[in-house]
């Protein structure tokens, strides 16, 4: 039996918008100040979760609230289960909205609100898809569970709790990224390298790096850097300082960034650099203020741990986006090259240095091997590994039935080949062993997730609804 899911979804337009507007009107930013028993992420998030569960109840589905951490709406019977993973929490709103972020506004076929595309709009489209399937009366042999998370934008505690009280299905998809589908995601190694303080000489005859600070998040390219340096008496004259200022400017200019050197008047100099921030999974898109500054300072005759710190930043980490100088370079077909971001770089003459890296490794390599390589490399760099956190990668092979099925459905609806995509970061689908991120953003459309004036195109949400309905049917029949 074939069914026109597209027509069925388009017929839901009014009813969908009727339900979407109040849903988007709930401010579901995590707010721990209003957290309480059964509402671990605050009132708004709890309300948004209840909203979907109530809809499910009213439409005759089995529903359950899992202590406010997550919930589900379920359809069908059978041992086997298909998971569809959505979330109701949203990120903060920032400034500059044309219309208030929690007063949904429709302009030009787009609905504007925080959560319109990430992820309440798609979550409700998936809910409607489940309802279309139920109303169609088509026989299915598995259960389909719409799993509703509440902490996707922060710590994924929702999924942690879910696995404590329920068993996550192995197979499914998550409407929280892009079409056609993302089947592979890099994993992460997050080491902090420590440099012990070794003050070579503290007298006025040498250059001293008093302090250095750049970056505040491991997974972002540092935008700013500040260093305080003390000069040897011999170099502390106006002409020498002017020369230094000039060569620093040339260095910054050559790297396409800005900054300055300001004499402290007490034999010290303050160096400032302003780079270009970028996401840590794409360090090559930014300009790392810290390593750019260090690659200048490293020309000056520092010694001891000053030198160790600057060497590491300048000779190893500066523009080493793919871990070549770190000795970690590798790549795979699914997710491409390993990347390295030097995210937090600090040094204090008395306390030593600390360098926090965010390494993203290809989905199909064994991270242990690379952790070992890093451990071997550390003594050569005169550093110790103070801490190290890894998170696993995610990979569903191309020939897995879930990919075959979703590809077919996608092609049916769009006439386009379902090219498989990969991601440098984690999508919600990673929670399921054989889970892929499947929509809602169509190729070529701009992602407005997390941005000011977030919107979703209503026709695209309806297209996604039809695709999800057919996907649910095909996976569960």
Q: Give min distance, CB of 232 to Zn ion, in A.
A: 54
- Write phi, then psi, for 108 (nearest 5 degrees): 60, 35
Tokens at 327, concatenated = 């000795």
- d(CA 417, CA 66) in angstroms, rounded, equals 38
Q: Give min distance, CB of 71 to Zn ion, in A.
A: 17
- Is the Cβ of residue 142 or residue 186 nearer to Zn ion in the bound state? 186
DSSP string, 264-303: -SSSEEEEEEE-B--BTT-GGGSB-HHHHHHHHHTTS---
Which residues are bridge partners to 145 per DSSP?
Answer: 74, 83
Q: Are 46 and 68 in contact (CB under 8 A)?
A: yes
Q: Are 193 and 382 in contact (CB under 8 A)?
A: no
Q: Give min distance, CB of 118 to Zn ion, in A.
A: 4
- Is the Cβ of residue 119 or residue 320 nearer to Zn ion in the bound state? 119
Which residues carry out catalysis? 89, 152
Q: Give min distance, CB of 387 to Zn ion, in A.
A: 28
Binding interface with Zn ion (CB under 5 A): 118-119, 176
- Is the Cβ of residue 118 or residue 306 nearer to Zn ion in the bound state? 118
- Is the Cβ of residue 116 or residue 418 nearer to Zn ion in the bound state? 116
Q: Are 158 and 310 in contact (CB under 8 A)?
A: no
Which residues are bridge partners to 422 per DSSP?
Answer: 184
Number of Cβ within 10 Å of residue 34's Cβ equals 13
Which residues are bridge partners to 149 per DSSP?
Answer: 70, 87
- d(CA 253, CA 260) in angstroms, rounded, equals 11
Query: For 431, which DSSP code?
Result: G
Q: Are 130 and 73 in contact (CB under 8 A)?
A: yes
Q: Give min distance, CB of 318 to Zn ion, in A.
A: 34
- Is the Cβ of residue 118 or residue 151 nearer to Zn ion in the bound state? 118
Q: Give min distance, CB of 56 to Zn ion, in A.
A: 20
- d(CA 429, CA 436) in angstroms, rounded, equals 5
Tokens at 348, concatenated = 């204090």
Q: What per-residue string of b and e applies to 333-342 under the rule 16 or more CB within 10 Å gives b?
A: ebbbbbbbbb
Structure-token match 């935008």, residue found: 223
- Is the Cβ of residue 81 or residue 176 nearer to Zn ion in the bound state? 176
- Is the Cβ of residue 328 or residue 441 nearer to Zn ion in the bound state? 441
């Amino acid at each position: 039996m074939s069914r026109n899911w597209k027509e069925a979804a388009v017929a839901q337009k009014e009813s969908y918008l009727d339900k979407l507007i109040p849903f988007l009107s709930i401010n579901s930013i995590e707010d721990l100040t209003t957290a309480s028993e059964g509402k671990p992420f605050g009132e708004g998030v709890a309300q948004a979760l209840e909203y979907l569960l109530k809809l499910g109840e009213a439409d005759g589905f089995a529903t359950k609230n899992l202590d406010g951490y997550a919930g589900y709406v379920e359809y069908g019977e059978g041992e086997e289960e298909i998971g569809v993973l959505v979330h109701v929490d949203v990120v903060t709103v920032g400034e500059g909205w044309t219309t208030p972020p929690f007063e949904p506004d429709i302009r030009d076929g787009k609905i504007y609100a925080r959560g319109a595309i990430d992820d309440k709009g798609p979550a409700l489209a998936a809910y409607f898809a489940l309802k279309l399937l139920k109303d169609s009366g088509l026989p299915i042999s598995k259960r389909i569970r719409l799993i509703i998370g509440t902490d996707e934008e922060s710590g994924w505690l929702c999924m942690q709790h879910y696995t404590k009280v329920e068993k996550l299905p192995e197979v499914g998809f998550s409407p929280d990224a892009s079409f056609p589908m993302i089947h592979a995601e890099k994993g992460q190694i997050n080491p902090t390298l420590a440099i012990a303080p070794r003050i070579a000489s503290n007298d006025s005859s040498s250059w001293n790096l008093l302090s250095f600070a750049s970056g505040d998040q491991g997974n972002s390219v540092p935008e700013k850097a500040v260093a305080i340096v003390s000069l040897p008496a011999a170099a502390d004259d106006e002409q020498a300082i002017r020369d230094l200022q000039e060569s620093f400017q040339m260095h910054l200019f050559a790297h396409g960034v800005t900054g300055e050197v300001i004499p402290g008047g007490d034999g010290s100099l303050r160096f400032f650099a302003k780079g270009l921030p970028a996401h840590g999974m794409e360090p090559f898109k930014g300009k790392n203020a810290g390593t750019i500054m260090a690659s200048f300072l490293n020309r000056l005759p520092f010694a001891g741990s000053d030198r160790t710190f600057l060497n590491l930043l300048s000779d190893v980490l500066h523009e080493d986006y793919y871990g070549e100088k770190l000795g970690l370079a590798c790549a795979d077909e699914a997710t491409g090259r390993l990347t390295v971001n030097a995210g937090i770089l600090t040094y204090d003459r008395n306390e030593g240095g600390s360098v926090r890296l965010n390494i993203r490794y290809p989905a199909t390599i064994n991270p242990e091997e690379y952790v070992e390589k890093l451990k071997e490399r550390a003594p050569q760099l005169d550093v110790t590994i103070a801490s190290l956190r890894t998170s696993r990668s995610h990979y569903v092979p191309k020939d897995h039935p879930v990919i075959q099925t979703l590809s077919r459905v996608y092609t049916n609806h769009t006439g386009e080949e379902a090219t498989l995509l990969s991601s440098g970061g984690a999508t919600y689908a990673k929670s399921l062993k054989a889970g892929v991120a499947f929509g809602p953003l169509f190729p070529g459309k701009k992602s407005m997730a997390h941005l000011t004036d977030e919107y979703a195109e209503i026709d695209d949400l309806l297209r996604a609804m039809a695709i999800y309905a057919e996907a649910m049917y095909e996976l569960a029949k």
